[in-house]
Amino acid sequence: MPSNKSVSDAPIVQFTNCRILRDHQLQREDLWVREGKILNPEKLFFDEKGSADVQLDCKDSIIAPGFIDVQINGGFGVDFSLATDDFKSGIDLVSQKILSHGVTSFCPTLVTSPPSVYHQVLPQISVRNGGAHGAGVLGAHLEGPFISKEKKGAHPEHCLRTFEAGAFQDLLATYGSLDCVQIVTLAPEMRRSSEVIRELTKRGICVSLGHSVANLSQAEEAVQHGATFITHLFNAMLPFHHRDPGIVGLLTSDKIPAGRRVFYGMISDGIHTNPAALRIAHRAHPKGLVLVTDAIAGMGLAPGRHTLGQQVVEIDGLNTYIAGTKTLSGSVATMDTCVRHFQEATGCSVETALEAASLHPAQLLGIEHKKGTLNYDSDADFLMLNDSLYVQATYIAGEEVWRQDVSGM
């Protein structure tokens, strides 16, 4: 590398008077950004003899990596499981709106649907970087249809499928393509699931266990074949039992292959999981906890009737039910709300709460070298927050893409 300013003529922005979340701690340092990446100031000073072109006073804000939501079914009237001609504009709307809640990248999630829906929707989802247009798209999360009838939750029973002979081909025929798929949730107790887990893992797709009646040994076998995630822990699985803890037992299992970590999603909205259950999970396996919203089309809208794929759902306060039942169906919580509730419910540190929505999902997806941290050379996707963890501004690739309007306050 040449040791002068000619390395790049792009402007260097220095964020001052802030506390940066780095190495699991809030550190009183400045943040340096150039060309969408976090800069190492020492290299800048000593190798390039460079300095900041712009200085921004953060007024003692916390700077944390942008949130990553790996399970979001829609929001603001958009349902990712509905095949529409203007599906792309729906993705655009949600990706724009979630910026105000600190989400800088996400996995649009489809619940169990007929093959025709996957064939129509998946080609319209493309992996893309975030920016002023909205949060980045990391790839789709396909939750079902290869799940248990007994634990289907809000998934339509008539669309559920089992693996037949040639199980992986069956999955390919159902989805049509895996090009933009990042996560697949399936029930590991299903016959032939092992070969499917192996094939998906081989293709770099994260396999998540959920909507399942699996016992612990079936769950452990799935992890040994490559599964790394649990979809919304405690919800849509067998309840913890001391003689066979089921999928929940993976949090403290001694059968996890060496060097591997099992992650688990938690909907920390105060409804899907009792605060005591949230505390139990967090204390048992803090490094695996990934906050997800599991948000549906009704997020950000008034109470009433909305959709979740093939089903009609009813929003009553923060509760969302399949219409006419008491079956929970996704949430209307935003990611920043989940982070604040998680911190309040568990009494964990601010750092821990923020990492559960940033570092951990990045590690789950194997992208922690560029997202989910503020390490040097990583993407400059970050948030400014106040001490109560309310988002004040959102940045993607070092550019401000949303700011709290303080006029009239």
Identified catalytic residue from 69, 269, 294, 379? 294
- Contacts of 405 by beta carbon, 8 Å cutoff, 6+ apart: none
Is residue 371 within 8 Å of residue 38, measured between CB atoms? no
- Comparing CA positions, the residue from 58, 57, 64 lying closest to residue 26 is 64
Question: Tokens in use for 362?
Answer: 């990045």
Catalytic (active site) residue 387? no
Annotated binding residues: 143, 154, 211, 232, 235-236, 243, 272, 328-330
Is residue 382 within 8 Å of residue 30, measured between CB atoms? no
Q: State residue 350 phi and psi, 5-degree precision.
A: -55, -45
Q: What is the DSSP string of 235-255?
A: TTBPPP-SS--GGGGGGG-S-
Q: Give the separation between CA 317 and CA 189, rounded to whole angstroms.
A: 35
Q: Give the separation between CA 381 and CA 383, rounded to whole angstroms.
A: 7
Annotated binding residues for Zn(2+): 143, 211, 232
Tokens 């403290």, residue? 252
Output the CA–CA distances (angstroms, integers) from residue 62 to 19, 390, 401, in the order listed: 5, 10, 17
Question: Tokens in use for 17?
Answer: 């008077």
Question: Tokens in use for 44?
Answer: 């800048």
Count of positions (residues) in the chain: 409
- Contacts of 223 by beta carbon, 8 Å cutoff, 6+ apart: 250, 253, 255, 256, 257, 260, 262
- Contacts of 384 by beta carbon, 8 Å cutoff, 6+ apart: 18, 58, 61, 62, 63, 391, 392, 393, 394, 395
Output the CA–CA distances (angstroms, integers) from residue 383 to 20, 189, 317, 321, in the order listed: 10, 40, 28, 32
Instruction: Just list the catalytic residues.
Output: 294
